[in-house]
Amino acid sequence: MIWPATFAARLESWNLLRDRCQNLPLESALDEINQWWFNAPWRPYYLHWDDQPSWPDPWQLLSDNVYCDVARGLGIVYTISMLDRKDMADTMLVLTEPGTNLVLVAKEKYILNWEVDTVVNTFTKVKIKRQYQQDQII
């Protein structure tokens, strides 16, 4: 996928992503979401954990069109939140001990925002420094 160049095209593409993921099995939906957000143009240090109260809403995030690891994780959480699926209701954005920004789903069984083509399926616990539950972000 080529990342949409205009805000309107990004909104349309994001809507199509959510439509596709609404009825997919959990792992397939998470994989689609993860891959879509990994196509976003990456730039370091756009958002910071200490600035959480001023993080952009999903529409501003897509309008700004700048994505560090925190912003990409935030976009993943926004997407999952808007799907409103019970099997994704425990989604969290976390900062781990080595400084990695991840999205954890299904009691930490699935890890997103790790690699472009991989939704890690594991029961390995990650060492969390900071976290925001899905309902704390939306």
Render pLDDT for 75-87 as a digit per residue (tens, 0 to 9). 999 999 999 999 9
Evaluate whether 88 touches 26 at the Cβ level (below 8 Å). yes
CA dihedral (102, 104, 110, 113) in degrees, to 10, reads -20
pLDDT digits (tens, 9 = 90+) for 10-32: 999 999 999 999 999 999 999 99
Which CATH code fits 7-137? 3.10.620.30
What pLDDT score does 104 carry? Answer: 93
